[in-house]
């Protein structure tokens, strides 16, 4: 369902993002209200994203050494998305819709062929890993046929908190929040919020078990990872 009022906290979060198409329909769009996707500023923003995504996805790695690829991709990624932290790497092809509505934390890894329809904001925390073919959808449509004939739609934000692992071909639907440290099994369709420190799978995705936090793992003498040195 579309929202009936703007969301000030979402609009405020967008203020610091690169290249947002600031206008009335943009604020309605990221707030989850009905909006017109064919507003010129929104059309231009999507057009700009296609060009920046092409630059990112078509980087000629034959002309640079392997140890230069990371920094070059991060440089291009910072032109494509709204905000991204240090140490984050995305394997191409990467397919965002607006790009500017995507916030990615530090030390994340996103594998090949990930699609993000960022009609509203997509906020990805630190140290998140996302498998091949995953799709994150903030865009939504009413079941009303008339709404499609009138060319109106809406979107709700998606949040993936720190230290999550999203398996290959997972689909995350509008308005979902995936809690800190959670794992989403490959092929799952996430329709509702997932609590922190959960392992969830299925269609629709459901929690199967809970796990220890990183702090609890550090205190567990039987944990096989607690004495490992971080691999950079």
114: enclosing H helix or E strand: strand 114-117
Which of 11-25, 137-151, 196-210 comes out lowest in average pLDDT?
137-151
Answer for the pair 41, 13: CB distance below 8 angstroms, yes or no. no
Report whether pLDDT(232) > 70: no
What radius of gyration, in Å, describes the C-alpha atoms of the chain?
Answer: 18
Q: What is the pLDDT of residues 113-166, one digit of tens each?
A: 999 999 999 999 999 999 999 999 999 888 888 877 877 789 999 999 999 999
Catalytic annotation, pick one of 141, 148, 150, 226:
141
Dist. CA 84–CA 126, nearest whole Å = 10
Q: Delimit the domains of the chain by residue range.
A: 8-209
Q: Which of 142, 188, 146, 147 is nearest to 165 (CA)?
A: 188
Residue 43, SS3 per DSSP: helix
**What is this structure's pTM?**
0.94
Report yes or no: 161 and 177 within 8 Å, Cβ to Cβ.
yes
Contacts 24+ apart (CB under 8 A), 137-143: 137/171, 137/172, 137/173, 137/174, 138/101, 138/174, 138/175, 139/97, 139/174, 140/2, 140/174, 142/1, 142/2
Q: Has residue 229 got a pLDDT over 80? A: no
Q: Which of residues 215 and 177 earns the better pLDDT score?
A: 177
The question of whether 141 is a catalytic residue gets the answer yes
Provide CATH code, domain 8-209: 2.160.10.10
60-87 average pLDDT score: 94
């Amino acid at each position: 369902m579309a929202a009936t009022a703007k969301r000030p906290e979402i609009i405020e979060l967008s203020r610091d993002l690169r290249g947002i198409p600031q206008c009335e329909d943009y604020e309605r769009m990221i707030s989850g209200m009905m909006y017109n996707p064919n507003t010129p500023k929104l059309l231009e923003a999507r057009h700009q994203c296609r060009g920046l995504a092409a630059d990112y996805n078509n980087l000629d790695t034959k002309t640079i050494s392997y140890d230069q690829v990371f920094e070059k991709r991060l440089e291009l990624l910072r032109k494509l998305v709204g905000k991204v932290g240090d140490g984050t790497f995305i394997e191409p092809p990467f397919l965002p819709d607006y790009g500017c509505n995507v916030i990615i934390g530090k030390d994340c890894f996103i594998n090949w062929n990930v699609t993000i329809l960022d009609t509203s904001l997509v906020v990805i925390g630190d140290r998140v890993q996302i498998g091949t073919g995953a799709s994150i959808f903030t865009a939504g449509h009413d079941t009303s046929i008339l709404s499609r004939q009138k060319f109106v739609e809406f979107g709700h934000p998606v949040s993936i908190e720190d230290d999550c692992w999203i398996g290959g071909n997972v689909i995350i639907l509008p308005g979902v929040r995936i809690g800190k440290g959670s794992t989403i099994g490959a092929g799952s369709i996430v329709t509702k919020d997932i609590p922190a420190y959960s392992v969830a799978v299925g269609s629709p995705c459901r929690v199967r078990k809970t796990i220890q936090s990183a702090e609890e793992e550090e205190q567990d003498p039987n944990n096989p990872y607690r004495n490992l040195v971080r691999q950079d």
